[in-house]
Chain A
Amino acid sequence: MFVWPPGDLNPEQEAAIKEPGSVFLVACPGSGKTRTLTYKVARLLSTLTSEKQWVIAITYTHRAADEIEERVERLGVGTAQLWIGTIHSFCLDWIIRPYAIYHPDLRDGFKVIDSHDAEVLLTELCAPYASQRVTYWDCGYHFTPAGRVLSCETKKRAAVGAILDRYHQRLKANRQLDYELILQCAYDLIVKNPTIGVLLNSLLTAVLVDEYQDTKEIQYAILAEILKAGDRKTAAFVVGDPNQAIYGSLGGYAITAAQFGAIANVNFREMELSQNYRSSKRIVGYFANYNVHATKIEAAAKHKDHVSLISFDTKTSKDELEGELIRLIRHSAETLGIPHHEICIVAPQWVHLAGMTRRLVAAMPDYRFDGPGMVPFARDIDNFWYKLSRIVLTEASPGMYVRRLRWAAEVLTALDDAGANVSDLSRKTLLRECNSVSLVEQDGLTYLRQFFDLLFARIGIDYCKFPALLDHHQAFFESSTARIARLTKEGAAFISDIATFRRVFETRSGITLSTIHGVKGAEFDTVIAYALLEGMVPHFADAAGDISANKLLYVIASRAKKHLHLIAERGRMRGGGRGEYEATRVLAVCGFTYDVVP
Chain B
Amino acid sequence: MHISKLQLVNYRNFSRADVLFKPGINTIIGENGSGKTNLFRAIRLLLDDNLLRAAYRLDKGDFHRGLGDWRGHWIIISLEFDNVSKDEAIQSLFLHGSGNIKDSDIGRATYNLIFRPKASVRAALAELEEGDEAGLAEVLSTVTIADYETIFTGKSEADFTDPVVYTALVGDFETVRFPEAAYPPEIGGKIPGIMAISKEVCFTFVQALRDVVADFQNNRANPLLTLLKSKSGKIDPADFVPITTMVEKLNTAIEGLPDVTTIRSDIRTTINDAAGETYSPNSLSIKSDLSHEADRLFQSLKLFVGEAEPGYEGAIHELSLGGANLIYLTLKLLEFKYQKAKQSFANFLVVEEPEAHIHTHIQKTLFDKLNYSDTQIIYSTHSTHISEVCNVENINVLGRNAGLCEVFQPSTGLTVEEVGNIQRYLDAVRSNLLFAKSVVLVEGDAEEILVPILIKKVFGVSLDELGVSLINIRSTGFTNVAVLFHDQRIRKRCAIVTDLDDAFIDTSPDPQDGDAEKKAKASAVAAQTSGLQRKATLAAFTKGNNWLSTHFADYTFEVDFLINGANAAKVVSILGEVYKSAATIATAKAELESKDIAVSGTRMLTMAKHMGKGWFAILLGKVVDHHTIVPDYILDAVFMAHGTPSTEVWANILAYRIGLQEKDGVAGPAAVAAARGTLKTYRDGGMDFAAMRNAMLQALPGDELNEVLASF
B372 within 8 A of A: no
CB-CB contacts of B73-98 with A at 8 A, as 1s and 0s? 00000000000001101101101110
B123 contacts A465, C-beta separation under 8 Å: yes
Number of chain A interface residues as a range? 35 or more
Residues of the A chain whose Cβ atoms lie less than 8 Å from the Cβ of B200 = 52
**A residues 407-433 touching B (CB-CB < 8 Å):** 413, 416, 419-421, 423
Tell me which of A101, A108, A200 contacts B155 (CB under 8 A). Answer: A101
Tell me which of A98, A419, A420, A423 contacts B150 (CB under 8 A). Answer: A423
CB-CB contacts of A77-111 with B at 8 A, as 1s and 0s? 00000010000000001000111111000011100
B101 contacts A99, C-beta separation under 8 Å: yes
A231 contacts B189, C-beta separation under 8 Å: no
Residues of the B chain whose Cβ atoms lie less than 8 Å from the Cβ of A420 = 119
> Which of A191-199, A338-346, A557-565 lies on the face that meets chain B?
A191-199
Q: In the complex, what's the smallest C-beta–C-beta distance from A190 to chain B, in angstroms?
A: 11
Compute how far the CA of A220 lies from the CA of B90 in the bound complex, rounded to whole angstroms: 27
A198-B86, A462-B120 known; A193 and B101 CB under 8 Å?
yes
Residues of the A chain whose Cβ atoms lie less than 8 Å from the Cβ of B106 = 195
Q: In the complex, what's the smallest C-beta–C-beta distance from A48 to chain B, in angstroms?
A: 13
Q: In the complex, what's the smallest C-beta–C-beta distance from B115 to chain A, in angstroms?
A: 11
Compute how far the CA of A466 lies from the CA of B120 in the bound complex, rounded to whole angstroms: 8
B193 contacts A416, C-beta separation under 8 Å: yes
A101 contacts B185, C-beta separation under 8 Å: yes
A203 contacts B96, C-beta separation under 8 Å: yes
Among B86, B89, B93, max chain A CB count under 10 A is at: B89
B410 within 8 A of A: no
Compute how far the CA of A193 lies from the CA of B96 in the bound complex, rounded to whole angstroms: 12
Compute how far the CA of A377 lies from the CA of B90 in the bound complex, rounded to whole angstroms: 46
**B residues 180-207 touching A (CB-CB < 8 Å):** 182-185, 188-190, 192-194, 199-200
A108 contacts B182, C-beta separation under 8 Å: yes
Compute how far the CA of A419 lies from the CA of B97 in the bound complex, rounded to whole angstroms: 18
Compute how far the CA of A465 lies from the CA of B93 in the bound complex, rounded to whole angstroms: 32
Residues of the A chain whose Cβ atoms lie less than 8 Å from the Cβ of B123 = 465
Residue of A nearest to B57 (CB): A423
Residue of A nearest to B98 (CB): A98
A98 contacts B104, C-beta separation under 8 Å: no
Tell me which of B93, B183, B194 contacts A108 (CB under 8 A). Answer: B183
Residues of the B chain whose Cβ atoms lie less than 8 Å from the Cβ of A54 = 194
Q: In the complex, what's the smallest C-beta–C-beta distance from B492 to chain A, in angstroms?
A: 39
B335 within 8 A of A: no
B105 contacts A199, C-beta separation under 8 Å: no
A52 contacts B118, C-beta separation under 8 Å: no
**A residues 173-201 touching B (CB-CB < 8 Å):** 193-196, 198-200
Residues of the A chain whose Cβ atoms lie less than 8 Å from the Cβ of B119 = 419-420, 465-466
B189 contacts A99, C-beta separation under 8 Å: yes
A318 within 8 A of B: no
Compute how far the CA of A108 lies from the CA of B96 in the bound complex, rounded to whole angstroms: 19
Compute how far the CA of A476 lies from the CA of B517 in the bound complex, rounded to whole angstroms: 107
A387 within 8 A of B: no
Tell me which of A98, A108, A109, A233 contacts B192 (CB under 8 A). Answer: A98
A101-B185, A420-B119, A423-B149 known; A198 and B87 CB under 8 Å?
yes
Residues of the B chain whose Cβ atoms lie less than 8 Å from the Cβ of A276 = none
Q: In the complex, what's the smallest C-beta–C-beta distance from A226 to chain B, in angstroms?
A: 12
A107 contacts B185, C-beta separation under 8 Å: yes
A230 within 8 A of B: yes
A97 contacts B190, C-beta separation under 8 Å: yes
A38 within 8 A of B: no
Residues of the A chain whose Cβ atoms lie less than 8 Å from the Cβ of B149 = 421, 423
A102 contacts B101, C-beta separation under 8 Å: yes
B86 contacts A195, C-beta separation under 8 Å: yes
Compute how far the CA of A49 lies from the CA of B578 in the bound complex, rounded to whole angstroms: 83
Tell me which of A202, A423, A465 contacts B89 (CB under 8 A). Answer: A202
A203 contacts B93, C-beta separation under 8 Å: yes
B185 contacts A52, C-beta separation under 8 Å: no
B223 within 8 A of A: no
A421 contacts B118, C-beta separation under 8 Å: yes
Residue of A nearest to B182 (CB): A109
Q: In the complex, what's the smallest C-beta–C-beta distance from A413 to chain B, in angstroms?
A: 7
Residues of the A chain whose Cβ atoms lie less than 8 Å from the Cβ of B171 = none
B99 within 8 A of A: yes
A52-B92, A107-B185 known; A199 and B99 CB under 8 Å?
yes
A416-B193, A465-B120 known; A195 and B99 CB under 8 Å?
yes
CB-CB contacts of B136-152 with A at 8 A, as 1s and 0s? 00000000000001100
Residues of the B chain whose Cβ atoms lie less than 8 Å from the Cβ of A230 = 86-87
Residues of the B chain whose Cβ atoms lie less than 8 Å from the Cβ of A99 = 101, 155, 189
Compute how far the CA of A36 lies from the CA of B59 in the bound complex, rounded to whole angstroms: 52
B189 contacts A101, C-beta separation under 8 Å: yes
Tell me which of A108, A195, A196, A413 contacts B185 (CB under 8 A). Answer: A108
Residue of B nearest to A106 (CB): B185
A93 contacts B192, C-beta separation under 8 Å: yes
Tell me which of B86, B95, B96, B188 contacts A101 (CB under 8 A). Answer: B188
Residue of A nearest to B150 (CB): A423
Compute how far the CA of A31 lies from the CA of B596 in the bound complex, rounded to whole angstroms: 118
Residue of B nearest to A201 (CB): B92
A231 contacts B89, C-beta separation under 8 Å: yes
Tell me which of B96, B104, B190, B193 contacts A200 (CB under 8 A). Answer: B96
**A residues 62-86 touching B (CB-CB < 8 Å):** 83
Q: In the complex, what's the smallest C-beta–C-beta distance from A161 to chain B, in angstroms?
A: 31
Residue of B nearest to A465 (CB): B120
**B residues 595-631 touching A (CB-CB < 8 Å):** none
Residues of the B chain whose Cβ atoms lie less than 8 Å from the Cβ of A101 = 155, 157, 185, 188-189
A52 contacts B90, C-beta separation under 8 Å: yes
Compute how far the CA of A516 lies from the CA of B92 in the bound complex, rounded to whole angstroms: 43
B105 contacts A195, C-beta separation under 8 Å: yes
Q: In the complex, what's the smallest C-beta–C-beta distance from A119 to chain B, in angstroms?
A: 26
Q: In the complex, what's the smallest C-beta–C-beta distance from A189 to chain B, in angstroms?
A: 10
Q: In the complex, what's the smallest C-beta–C-beta distance from B630 to chain A, in angstroms?
A: 62
B182 contacts A199, C-beta separation under 8 Å: no
Compute how far the CA of A52 lies from the CA of B185 in the bound complex, rounded to whole angstroms: 26
Which 4 residue pairs are nearest across A and B when measured between Cβ atoms?
A107-B185, A202-B89, A202-B92, A465-B120
- 8 further contact pairs, Cβ within 8 A, besides A93-B192, A98-B192, A107-B185: A83-B194, A99-B155, A195-B104, A198-B86, A199-B95, A230-B86, A423-B57, A465-B118
A-B contact pairs, 26 of them (CB 8 A): A54-B194, A97-B189, A97-B190, A97-B192, A99-B189, A101-B155, A101-B188, A107-B185, A109-B183, A194-B104, A195-B106, A198-B87, A199-B99, A202-B89, A203-B92, A203-B93, A203-B96, A230-B86, A231-B89, A233-B89, A413-B193, A419-B119, A419-B183, A421-B118, A462-B120, A465-B123
Q: Which residues of B contact A (CB under 8 A)?
A: 57, 86-87, 89-90, 92-93, 95-97, 99, 101, 104-106, 118-120, 123, 149-150, 155, 157, 182-185, 188-190, 192-194, 199-200
